[in-house]
Structure 1
Amino acid sequence: MQGTGPFTSTSAFCAKCGSILPLLQEFGHVKCYACKAIYDPESFSNIKFNYTIHFNTVSTLNNDNILNMDNPEGPVVERKCPKCGNDRMSYATLQLRSADEGQTVFYTCVNCKYKETENS
């Protein structure tokens, strides 16, 4: 990485000012938004991003886990499932959008395991 500074950093953060760096595009350089330090694409060759979101995967549903109401996937609230009509769903939240926007709520029916999302 180019640039020197007081920070010992992984390649996801600027070594000069410590700010998080933008994602590497297909070509070109990465420029720090805060201090304008420039990094070559080769600096990021060892970084791999791998995200997997399983959402209503049919292969994960079977008779053993469909009716398992003893192990909900999170806190349970009163919310009607649009698939089976059950009035209880568990939920989990994640901040997927920018920090000045609301969080995303993932609901899972405790009866049929149907999943849906809501942007709050």
Structure 2
Amino acid sequence: MDVFKAKPGFCPECGSIFPPLPMKGNVVCYNCKKDFDPEVFGDMKIKYTIHFNTYVPKEKDAKVKEEQDVADGPVVERKCPKCGHDKMSYATLQLRSADEGQTVFFTCLKCKFKESENS
């Protein structure tokens, strides 16, 4: 008779966590030393979600590659104060003490204007 309403992976007799399921044979509880069929683990399926890169049409692909070639780092949507272009690349450095934020350096992809921001 089961004493506990155990979840998969736990002993229905004493409630202890089971050792890893062996490649073959039964599983033996560390605590109460009872022997159980592998079915005691129940349905322990794992669900994975895989995220792929988004599709970039060929006409946009050339523009994206061109921007990446000229960029000094990752590209963000940020308006350049000098020329008004809406894309800038950035890089970060820890220039101040460790308990203060980092410094972010932005570079315009069009006119190469550089600015910094303390975060």
TM-score of the superposed pair, with normalisation by structure 1: 0.42
Q: Radius of gyration: which is bigger?
A: 2
Identify the structure with the greater helix proportion. Answer: 2
TM (norm. structure 2) is 0.43
